[in-house]
Structures are given as structure tokens and as C-alpha cells.
Amino acid sequence: MMNIKDRNKNVILTKVFLIVILIMPLTLFYSLYLNLYIRTPVPDVAWVSWYDDPQHEVYIGWETEDFEQCTVKYGTSRTELDEIETEGTANQFHIMNLTSLSSNTRYYYEIDYDGKIYTTGEFRTAPSIYSPFSFGLTADTQQKIGPGWHSHVAKIFDQKNYSFIAMVGDFVEDRYKAEWNDYFKRAGRWMDTIPLVPVQGNHDRAKDVDNDGEEEYFFGQYFPQSVDQVMNTNIYDTHQQFYFSFNWSSVHFQILYFPEVDIDDEEELHGINPRDYNQSFTPDHLAWIEEDLANAQDFPFRVSLFHCPITGAGFYGENFVLINELLPILHQYNVTVTVHGHAHHFERGILKNNIHLGNDLTYFVVGTGGGLADVGLCPVPETEVCTAGPSYTEAHATEDNLEFSTYTLSGELIDSYVIESEVK
Ligand SMILES: [Fe+2]
């Protein structure tokens, strides 16, 4: 007969066996996944974006594994790429600005080197008059402990006829090169037909990823369109503040640099991290925001995109720095909509405008692009709708209306909201 000691031993062995059986597949999966992930090579994709005039000027960006001198052929017919531009030097990070383009025109391009086609793509320039258009919104595609659903969202976007997709920050998590390769590999699915409007997140900032004493700033090498001109406004001003603006039909778009304003830092005065604060609220950035909005008052709609939400139901809650220092400017100049990531959920809310009564600001959080989802959402008084889980948001703009729709990845409508123009 088995004594108590032997029986306890058997129970322990059985438990250990079951734990090992349960953990093994997960361990195997993550070893394989992480191994493949850190070896992701540079994908042969290109992206289209612009500085401030997408009616007449766009740039094509791409990267090569080695230093290459490339040629871009482009034209308005897929079979007649009669404009040819060749780079002056060999590069790994490539930007080719195409100028003197016609508005509302579809262009096709091909990138070549060493007598081979590297990649091809197409884009349409902005219209010169108010005409209806659609655009996609997503954020926080960073992958942390698993593949997430970035590829799934990218597959859906690939079927869309958007004028562009705005990616509202946190392309990557730890800023390693392989993560950027992974981002472009997955998002590359739609980048051959849809331009990209980049917004910088806190996880996209420069970092010394290889511990050689110098920070790598991959975001800036991929996306060169920041108009930040003034350096060293304070000791935290690294001159990497990424902001610019452009017009597309009836909407003026502003891309701002508020990647993160940490208000939970117990070690710092008022809990505010001075680096986050002083990098974002530089005098030149704030002056540019006001001037840019003042010049855009005749547009039916003004949309400002920046990573850190002003308030919301997510982990970060309300941000009193953004509420006190930025929001009055947005209200003063009648910004219609702000769009954010950072918090990993979807949310729509209203920020009442007490300066211009009736011109309330609608905010969206679209941080559901593929990373971990928030749990335990706590709606704030401004919250109208909030939900965690995979989703994507699209907008349709006319001269009179701006309509936002958010869907699950299986196509079920989560939220739809129409804003009418105040310009009559
Ligand atoms: Fe973030």
C-alpha cells in the first residue's frame, strides 16, 4: 500500500508534470516568435507622405538593407513612367521628394537599383477644390508580448480606398530596428496604394538601442517632414519635435508633438516629468500651433492629431497639463476634432468649448491598432463611447460634414458620429 508520503510525492510530481505540459507550448511559441521577430529583415516596401502641399508635392520613402543609389520612375500611367529621378548618393534610408505634381491625379511609381525593380506603388494627390474623401485612423501598433492584430488591421486597410491613413503614434515598443522592420512589413500591405500620415508617439522617440553612446532616431529617418526649426529652447529640446500641417479638401490637418505628458511622476515637482513637458511645450511649438490654426480659420474643419490624449477612460485618465495649456488654444481656434493613441482603447468624447459656445471639440482615441488592449476602462465625464478590443476608425469628409465610423475587425459598427461644419 502507498503511504501518505508517497501519495503526496505523486501529487506533487503530477502537478509539476501538468504545469510543464501547459507551459511548454507557450514557451516554444514565444521562443520561435521572438526569434523570428528580432531577425525581421528590411522589407522591400515604400511609403508615400508629404510636407505641406499634397496637391503638388509628395515624397516617397523606402529603406534598403545596404547602401544603394536608387532611381525613381513615375508618371500618370502605369505603363509610362516617363519622369525619372536618380539619387545623388548611395543611402540606406531614402527620401525622394516629387514636385510639380498635378492635383487630384493618380501617379504610379517604381523604385529601381542595380537594374532590378525594388518595389512599386501608386498614390493620388490632394484635390484643389472641396470634394468628398475618406481617411483611416489607427495608432499603437507596437507589439510587446505577442504578434497582436496589426496584420489583421493592415489587411482590412488594404481593401480600402482611403486618401491616406494617419498613424497616431507608437509604431514600435522598444525602438529596436527589427521592430521597425516588422512595422513596415505588416503595414506595407496597404502602403503601396495608400499614403501614410505619421504622428510621433513616446515609443517612437530616439533611443540608444545598441548601447554605443549615440541615440538612434529611426522615426526621423523614415519621416523627415517636421517643420521644427528652433533648436535648444531648453535643455530637453532635442530638435526632434515632430509637427507639420497640410490641407486636404475641406479639412486642415495638424500633426502635433505631444507624445506623452507624464503627470504621474512622484519624484518630480507636481508629478510632471520635465523631459516630457519641456520637449512638447516649447515656445516655438506653441507659437506655430497658434499661427497655423489662425491661418486655417476659413476651412470647414480643423483636425489635430497628437499621441497623448487630453482626457479619456484609459489608464492615464485626464491630463491636466494638456487641459490647462493646450486645450484653450484648440478651443480658441475652433479645432473640430483631436485624434490620439497612447491609451489602448477606442473612445469618442466631447470637450465643451467655453470660448466659442457651441463649437465643442470632439476627441477620438484610436489606440487599438494591434498591441495590448486596455482593461478596466473608467469613463470620464467627457466620454460618450469607449470600448477596448481590436478596432479601426475611418472618416468621410465633405464640405458640410465630417463623419467618423469605428468598426470591429469583423466589420461590425461600434460607433458612428457626424459633425456638421460651423462655416456657413
Ligand atoms: Fe504611447
Q: How far is the CA of 308 from the centre of ligand 1 (A)?
A: 7
Q: How far is the CA of 186 from the centre of ligand 1 (A)?
A: 19
Phi/psi zone of residue 148: left (φ > 0), alpha (ψ -120 to 50 degrees), beta?
Answer: left
Name the DSSP letter for residue 142. -
Phi/psi zone of residue 361: left (φ > 0), alpha (ψ -120 to 50 degrees), beta?
Answer: beta
Q: How far is the CA of 169 from the centre of ligand 1 (A)?
A: 7
SS3 of residue 222 by DSSP:
helix
Confidence of residue 77 (pLDDT cuts 50, 70, 90): very high
Q: How far is the CA of 172 from the centre of ligand 1 (A)?
A: 9
Domain-embedded: residue 390: yes
Nearest to 58 by CA among 126, 132, 134: 126
Per-residue model confidence as pLDDT tens digits over 309-331: 999 999 889 999 999 999 999 99
Domain-embedded: residue 381: yes
Per-residue pLDDT averaged across 296-304, rounded? 97
Domain-embedded: residue 46: no
Contact present, 133 and 397 (Cβ < 8 Å): yes
Say whether both 61 and 25 belong to one domain: no
Confidence of residue 284 (pLDDT cuts 50, 70, 90): very high
Confidence of residue 217 (pLDDT cuts 50, 70, 90): very high
Q: How far is the CA of 69 from the centre of ligand 1 (A)?
A: 35
Q: How far is the CA of 168 from the centre of ligand 1 (A)?
A: 9
Name the DSSP letter for residue 161. -
CA-CA distance, 53 to 245, in Å (whole number)?
A: 9
Say whether both 94 and 199 belong to one domain: no
Q: How far is the CA of 342 from the centre of ligand 1 (A)?
A: 4
CATH of the domain at 172: 3.60.21.10
Q: How far is the CA of 203 from the centre of ligand 1 (A)?
A: 6
- Cβ neighbours of residue 82 under 8 Å, at least 6 residues apart? 73, 75
CA-CA distance, 281 to 258, in Å (whole number)?
A: 8
Q: How far is the CA of 28 from the centre of ligand 1 (A)?
A: 29
Q: How high is the pLDDT of residue 146?
A: 62
Check pLDDT > 80 for residue 125: yes
Per-residue model confidence as pLDDT tens digits over 151-185: 999 999 999 999 999 999 999 988 889 999 999 99
Structure-block grid coordinates of residue 256:
502635433
Q: How far is the CA of 406 from the centre of ligand 1 (A)?
A: 20
Domain-embedded: residue 248: yes
- Cβ neighbours of residue 395 under 8 Å, at least 6 residues apart? 134, 135, 136, 137, 402, 403, 404, 405
Check pLDDT > 90 for residue 29: no
Say whether both 386 and 305 belong to one domain: yes
**Arithmetic mean of pLDDT over the chain:** 93
Q: How far is the CA of 164 from the centre of ligand 1 (A)?
A: 22
Length of the chain: 424
Per-residue pLDDT averaged across 278-294, rounded? 96
CA distances from 140 to 164, 301, 367, 372 (A): 17, 25, 5, 9
Q: How high is the pLDDT of residue 140?
A: 95
Per-residue pLDDT averaged across 211-228, rounded? 94
Domain-embedded: residue 47: no
Q: How far is the CA of 113 from the centre of ligand 1 (A)?
A: 37
Check pLDDT > 70 for residue 147: no
SS3 of residue 20 by DSSP:
helix
CA-CA distance, 362 to 184, in Å (whole number)?
A: 30
Q: How high is the pLDDT of residue 84?
A: 97
Say whether both 108 and 190 belong to one domain: no
Nearest to 329 by CA among 269, 235, 258, 242: 258
Q: How far is the CA of 110 from the centre of ligand 1 (A)?
A: 34
Q: How far is the CA of 114 from the centre of ligand 1 (A)?
A: 40
Say whether both 71 and 164 belong to one domain: no
Check pLDDT > 60 for residue 1: no
Q: How far is the CA of 222 from the centre of ligand 1 (A)?
A: 19
Check pLDDT > 90 for residue 395: yes
CA-CA distance, 95 to 201, in Å (whole number)?
A: 21
Select from 67, 95, 124 the last residue of a domain.
124
Select from 106, 124, 142 the last residue of a domain.
124
Check pLDDT > 90 for residue 232: no
CA-CA distance, 49 to 253, in Å (whole number)?
A: 13
Q: How far is the CA of 347 from the centre of ligand 1 (A)?
A: 15
Q: How far is the CA of 307 from the centre of ligand 1 (A)?
A: 7
Contact present, 393 and 408 (Cβ < 8 Å): no
Q: How high is the pLDDT of residue 16?
A: 82
Q: How far is the CA of 12 from the centre of ligand 1 (A)?
A: 44
Nearest to 335 by CA among 292, 304, 378: 304
Say whether both 81 and 147 belong to one domain: no
Say whether both 220 and 259 belong to one domain: yes
Check pLDDT > 60 for residue 240: yes
CA-CA distance, 191 to 122, in Å (whole number)?
A: 9
Say whether both 369 and 403 belong to one domain: yes
Domain-embedded: residue 179: yes
Backbone angles phi, psi at 188, to 5 degrees: -55, -20
Q: How far is the CA of 201 from the centre of ligand 1 (A)?
A: 5
Backbone angles phi, psi at 253, to 5 degrees: -105, 130
Q: How far is the CA of 173 from the centre of ligand 1 (A)?
A: 9
Check pLDDT > 60 for residue 251: yes
CATH of the domain at 79: 2.60.40
Q: How far is the CA of 312 from the centre of ligand 1 (A)?
A: 14
Say whether both 147 and 180 belong to one domain: yes
Q: Indicate the number of domains in the chain.
A: 3
Q: How high is the pLDDT of residue 424?
A: 53
Contact present, 163 and 197 (Cβ < 8 Å): no
Element (H, E) at 189: helix 177-191
Q: How far is the CA of 413 from the centre of ligand 1 (A)?
A: 26
Select from 84, 107, 124 the last residue of a domain.
124
Q: How far is the CA of 260 from the centre of ligand 1 (A)?
A: 7
Domain-embedded: residue 341: yes
Say whether both 318 and 395 belong to one domain: yes
Angle between helices 150-157 and 177-191 (to 10 degrees): 30
Domain-embedded: residue 44: no
Q: Which domain holds residue 93?
A: 56-124
Say whether both 18 and 145 belong to one domain: no
SS3 of residue 351 by DSSP:
strand
Q: How far is the CA of 202 from the centre of ligand 1 (A)?
A: 5
CA-CA distance, 157 to 285, in Å (whole number)?
A: 32
Q: How far is the CA of 346 from the centre of ligand 1 (A)?
A: 14
Q: How far is the CA of 378 from the centre of ligand 1 (A)?
A: 18
Q: How far is the CA of 271 from the centre of ligand 1 (A)?
A: 18
Nearest to 260 by CA among 246, 274, 239: 274
Say whether both 100 and 214 belong to one domain: no
CA-CA distance, 256 to 409, in Å (whole number)?
A: 28
Query: Between vectors from CA 219 to CA 244 and to CA 387, what angle results, nearest 5°?
Result: 80
